[in-house]
C-alpha cells in the first residue's frame, strides 16, 4: 500500500505506536511532532550518572500492549521489573504500609486495613457498615468520592482511594468518574450490594501468581519512543520534530495539514490522519470539520504537576527506606493545612535495582508535586520546589545533607482528568470522528492514560485508518 500517505499528528507514545503499525503495514507515514523532541510524557535523562525518567517511569505488566510492543521491537529481553513492590502511605502523621487486599485503595481485607493503621479508629469503624447498608443507587456515572464514600466512608476515600488514584490522574475523588477511573471495581459493584464483597470477588478471580506488576527499560522508559522512531524509519516512515500542526482541513479525497509557523506555513496532504495529541490541541484541530468532537474534547480538563528528582549520596540516608516509595493523601499534604505539598515519593534507586547497580553510591528519588486545582504550588521557582522536596525527605527519611544533583521537570497540563461523564464524552467524540473518513484519534485523553492503554488506542486508530485506506484502494482486509 505504498501509494497511500498517512500523517500522524503527535510524537508521543500513542502517535509513534500508531505510526509504527501503519509503517509496518506498508503505508507511507509521516509523524509530525510539534516540540523539538519525540516522546511526549516519556523522557529520560541522567542525574548523577543514573538514567532516571522525568515523566512516565513504568508500564503496567498486567496488560499486554506495552510488553507486546517492546517484544515486537525485539527488546523483550531488556525489560526489567521492580525490586520491591511494597509501598507506603503517609497517614495520620506516619508512614504506614498500603494495606494488602485493596484494589486502587478500595479495601477488601478488614484485618489488613486495621493492621495498617491508615485510618483513624472512627474511620475504621465506619467501613464494615458497607456490609449491611442497602444498595447504593447508581443510575448513570457518579464520582469516586460519592460512591466509595457512601459505601465505606470518607476516610477510605481521602486516605486510600484518592492518593492511589492521585498517583495516576493527579485528580480529585469528588470529580473523577467511578466508571472510568475504577472500571473493574465499578463493574463488580454492579453485581454486589457490598463494595467490600465486590473487591473480594475481583481479588479471588485474579491469577494466584500473576508475575510482576510493572516493567521498564534499563535506560529508562524514555528510551521507548526512540526505539519506535528507529523502527518507523526502518520501515520507510518519517518522524519530524519542530513540526507543529496548526490546521487540519478535510479535502475531497483526504486531508490537508498546515504545519509550522504562521509566517511560513507548509501544507501537507494526506489520505488519512491520526490525531494523537492531548485534548486541547486535538479540539483545535478538529474544530473546523468535526465540531461535535472538538466541543467534547474541549471539555476534558488536565492537571499540571512537577517531578523533582534528587540524587543523594547513599550515606545521606541514616537508614535506607524500605519499599519503593510512598503516597501522601491530600488531607496530609495540603499546604493550607500545614502539609508540605509533596504528593508522592519514589525511591527510584531502590524500586529499580538496575539503577542502584549502575551507581551503588547514589540514591535517586522522585518527588511529585501538584494535583488538579493546585496550579498555585507550581508557580514556585525551581529552587523553591527543590527545597520543598528536600524538606519532605528530611521529615520522613531524616536526610539533612544536600543532594549531589537535582532536577525539576514541569508537566503543565500533563494528565487528563477522567471526570464524571468521561465515557459518554469519549463515545460522542468517537461517534463524530467515525463520520470523518480517514480520520482517527488516539492517546491518553480517551480510554486510559497508562502507556498500555495509549498503545491500545493507537492500535485501534491505526487499524481504522488501514481499513479506510484498503477500502479506498479496493484491497480486501
Q: What is the binding site for ligand FAD (CB under 6 A)?
A: 9-15, 32-35, 40-42, 55-59, 244-245, 276-278, 281, 305, 307, 411, 414-415, 443-444, 449-451, 454
Question: How far, in Å, CA of 441 to CA of 158, rounded?
Answer: 34
Smallest gap from residue 366 Cβ to ligand FAD (A): 9
When the beta carbons of 33 and 155 are compared against ligand FAD, the nearer one is 33
When the beta carbons of 195 and 453 are compared against ligand FAD, the nearer one is 453
Smallest gap from residue 121 Cβ to ligand FAD (A): 35
Among candidate residues 282, 225, 222, the one with its CA nearest the CA of residue 248 = 282
Edge-to-edge strand list for the sheet holding 5-9: 238-240, 28-32, 5-9, 272-275, 439-441
308 and 367 Cβ atoms separated by less than 8 Å: yes
411: cell is: 508537566
When the beta carbons of 277 and 364 are compared against ligand FAD, the nearer one is 277
Smallest gap from residue 57 Cβ to ligand FAD (A): 5
Question: How far, in Å, CA of 388 to CA of 280, rounded?
Answer: 31
When the beta carbons of 148 and 228 are compared against ligand FAD, the nearer one is 228
Question: How far, in Å, CA of 436 to CA of 250, rounded?
Answer: 8
When the beta carbons of 11 and 403 are compared against ligand FAD, the nearer one is 11
When the beta carbons of 200 and 346 are compared against ligand FAD, the nearer one is 346
When the beta carbons of 33 and 296 are compared against ligand FAD, the nearer one is 33
Query: What pairing do the DSSP bridges indicate for beta strands 238-240 and 28-32?
Result: parallel
455 and 66 Cβ atoms separated by less than 8 Å: yes
Question: How far, in Å, CA of 399 to CA of 269, rounded?
Answer: 57
148: cell is: 466509595
When the beta carbons of 123 and 281 are compared against ligand FAD, the nearer one is 281
184 and 103 Cβ atoms separated by less than 8 Å: yes
Q: How far is CA 316 from CA 31, 47, 227, in A?
A: 45, 16, 36
Smallest gap from residue 405 Cβ to ligand FAD (A): 19
Smallest gap from residue 361 Cβ to ligand FAD (A): 26
Smallest gap from residue 281 Cβ to ligand FAD (A): 4
8 and 22 Cβ atoms separated by less than 8 Å: yes
Class of residue 56 by CB neighbours under 10 A (exposed 0-12, middle 13-18, buried 19+): buried
Smallest gap from residue 230 Cβ to ligand FAD (A): 17
Question: How far, in Å, CA of 20 to CA of 221, rounded?
Answer: 17
Smallest gap from residue 17 Cβ to ligand FAD (A): 8
SS3 469: helix
When the beta carbons of 176 and 198 are compared against ligand FAD, the nearer one is 176
Q: How far is CA 302 from CA 207, 247, 278, 439, in A?
A: 34, 22, 9, 24
Cβ atoms within 10 A of the Cβ of 477, count? 7
Smallest gap from residue 448 Cβ to ligand FAD (A): 8
Amino acid at each position: 500500500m505504498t501509494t497511500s500517505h498517512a500523517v500522524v499528528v503527535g510524537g508521543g507514545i500513542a502517535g509513534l505506536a500508531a505510526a509504527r503499525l501503519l509503517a509496518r503495514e506498508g503505508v507511507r507515514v509521516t509523524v509530525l511532532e510539534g516540540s523539538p523532541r519525540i516522546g511526549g510524557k516519556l523522557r529520560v535523562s541522567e542525574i548523577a550518572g543514573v538514567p532516571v525518567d522525568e515523566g512516565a517511569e513504568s508500564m503496567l505488566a498486567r496488560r499486554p500492549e506495552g510488553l507486546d510492543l517492546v517484544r515486537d521491537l525485539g527488546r523483550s529481553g531488556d525489560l526489567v521489573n521492580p525490586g520491591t513492590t511494597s509501598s507506603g502511605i503517609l497517614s495520620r502523621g506516619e508512614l504506614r504500609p498500603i494495606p494488602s487486599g485493596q484494589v486502587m485503595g478500595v479495601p477488601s481485607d478488614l484485618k489488613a486495613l486495621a493492621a495498617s493503621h491508615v485510618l483513624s479508629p472512627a474511620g475504621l469503624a465506619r467501613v464494615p457498615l458497607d456490609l449491611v447498608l442497602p444498595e447504593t443507587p447508581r443510575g448513570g456515572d457518579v464520582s469516586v468520592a460519592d460512591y466509595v464514600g457512601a459505601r465505606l466512608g470518607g476516610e477510605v476515600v481521602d486516605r486510600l482511594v484518592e492518593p492511589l488514584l492521585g498517583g495516576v490522574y493527579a485528580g480529585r475523588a469528588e470529580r473523577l468518574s467511578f466508571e472510568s477511573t475504577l472500571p473493574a471495581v465499578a463493574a463488580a459493584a454492579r453485581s454486589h450490594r457490598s463494595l467490600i464483597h465486590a473487591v473480594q470477588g475481583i481479588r479471588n478471580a485474579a491469577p494466584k501468581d500473576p508475575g510482576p506488576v510493572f516493567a521498564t527499560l534499563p535506560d529508562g522508559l524514555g528510551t521507548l519512543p526512540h526505539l519506535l522512531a528507529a523502527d518507523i524509519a526502518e520501515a520507510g516512515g518519517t518522524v519530524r520534530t519542530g513540526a507543529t500542526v496548526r490546521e487540519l482541513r478535510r479535502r475531497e479525497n483526504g486531508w490537508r495539514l498546515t504545519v509550522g509557523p504562521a509566517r511560513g506555513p507548509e501544507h501537507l496532504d494526506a489520505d488519512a490522519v491520526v490525531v494523537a495529541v492531548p485534548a486541547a490541541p486535538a479540539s483545535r484541530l478538529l474544530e473546523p470539520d468535526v465540531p461535535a468532537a472538538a466541543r467534547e474534547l474541549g471539555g476534558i480538563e488536565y492537571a499540571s504537576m512537577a517531578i523533582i528528582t534528587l540524587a543523594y549520596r547513599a550515606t545521606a540516608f541514616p537508614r535506607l527506606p524500605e519499599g519503593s516509595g510512598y503516597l501522601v493523601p491530600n488531607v496530609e499534604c495540603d499546604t493550607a493545612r500545614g502539609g508540605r505539598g509533596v504528593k508522592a515519593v519514589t525511591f527510584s534507586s531502590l524500586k529499580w535495582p538496575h539503577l542502584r547497580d549502575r551507581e551503588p553510591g547514589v540514591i535517586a528519588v522522585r518527588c511529585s508535586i501538584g494535583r488538579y486545582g493546585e496550579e498555585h504550588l507550581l508557580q514556585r521557582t525551581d529552587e523553591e520546589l527543590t527545597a520543598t522536596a528536600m524538606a519532605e525527605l528530611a521529615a520522613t527519611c531524616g536526610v539533612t545533607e544536600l543532594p549531589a544533583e537535582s532536577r525539576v521537570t514541569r508537566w503543565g497540563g500533563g494528565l487528563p482528568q477522567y471526570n464524571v461523564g468521561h465515557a459518554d464524552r469519549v463515545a460522542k467524540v468517537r461517534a463524530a470522528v467515525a463520520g470523518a473518513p480517514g480520520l482517527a484519534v488516539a492517546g491518553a485523553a480517551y480510554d486510559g492514560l497508562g502507556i498500555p492503554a495509549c498503545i491500545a488506542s493507537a492500535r485501534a486508530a491505526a487499524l481504522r485508518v488501514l481499513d479506510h485506506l484498503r477500502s479506498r484502494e479496493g484491497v480486501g482486509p
